Amino acid sequence: MANREILEEKSYKTVYREGNTIVKEFTPSHPKANVFNEAYIHACVEGCGVSVPKILGVAPSGGGWALSMEYVEGRTLQQMIDAEPEKAAEYLEKLVDIQLEVGKYRVPQLRNTRYKMEEAINTLTEIDASTKYELLQRIHGMKRHTKLCHGDLVPSNIIIREDGSWIVLDWAHATSGNAGADAAITYLRFSLEQPKIADQYLRLFCKKADMAIQYVQTWMPIVAAAQLTKHKEAERELLEKWISVAEYQ
């Protein structure tokens, strides 16, 4: 049997490599449906021809469930940014190009971005009824689009192979909908984790997508509220600041 190399450990999952296979093993308390759902979304995206690692299966593992996929040789875009921060602009441009390329695909089996956000916001107990109302009105005012949205397109979810070609990981949050929402999520993740390059990302995205920054900004309180459902204490302050824009005055 090939050696197990642990790549990532979180409270609810471990990602490891075993030869040519990557295994994402979830803890026993992690809902079985979430694991199967991630595999389903991944398979739908793969079936539409997007560059993703082939999903190989879902199986019981370590008392819980694990999904396995093919191992892709290369470096993540995050590893490249960390190794050469002076080239951040070039790598951010690559990220934006990939995001725009992904958005050209249509995966009709996926849930719509607007519905997913609406459902998440409806479950929130942290915000008052008036703010919730304002956020839901904002969602209803958004156009219906059907672009493939990754839902967590950050540099650590992109692998660049030696020949420069790319492959995107981690499709659990993918939806069919609005590119502006997807950009707002990426911008939020940068603002939380790599604030120095967040604005650079947003400017680049809007320029390349020919999209008004104001349109992405309209999505910001919505994606921040949806992110609040994950209850990460370290994120709370920034999320509340973003949400406050939509508060009833």
Contacts with ligand ATP by CB under 6 A lie at: 7-8, 10, 15, 22, 24, 53, 69, 71-72, 76, 152, 156-157, 159, 169-170
Question: What binding mask, one character per residue, do residues 165-204 give for Mg ion by CB under 5 A, x or -?
Answer: -----x----------------------------------
Three-class secondary structure of residue 178 per DSSP? coil
Smallest distance from the beta carbon of 79 to ligand ATP, in angstroms? 7
Residue 55 or 127: the one with the smaller Cβ distance to ligand ATP is 55
Is residue 38 part of the contact set for Mg ion (CB under 5 A)? no
Smallest distance from the beta carbon of 67 to ligand ATP, in angstroms? 9
Residue 102 or 127: the one with the smaller Cβ distance to ligand ATP is 102
Q: Which stretch binds Mg ion (CB under 5 A): 20-28, 150-158, 180-188, 192-200?
A: 150-158
Task: Report CA dihedral (247, 126, 151, 221) to the nearest 10 degrees.
Answer: 10
Residue 171 or 205: the one with the smaller Cβ distance to Mg ion is 171
150 within 8 A of 157, measured Cβ to Cβ: yes
Angstrom distances, CA of residue 96 to CA of 77, 93, 202:
12, 5, 9
Is the C-alpha dihedral spanning 38, 43, 45, 46 positive or negative?
positive
Three-class secondary structure of residue 175 per DSSP? strand
Helix axes 179-193, 113-123, angle to 10 degrees: 50
Residue 168 or 225: the one with the smaller Cβ distance to Mg ion is 168
Smallest distance from the beta carbon of 211 to ligand ATP, in angstroms? 24
Smallest distance from the beta carbon of 247 to ligand ATP, in angstroms? 29
Residue 129 or 234: the one with the smaller Cβ distance to Mg ion is 234
- Strands across the sheet containing 166-168: 75-76, 158-160, 166-168
Which of 135, 156, 125, 133 shows the shortest CA–CA distance to 224?
Answer: 135
- Site residues (CB under 5 A) for Mg ion? 156-157, 170
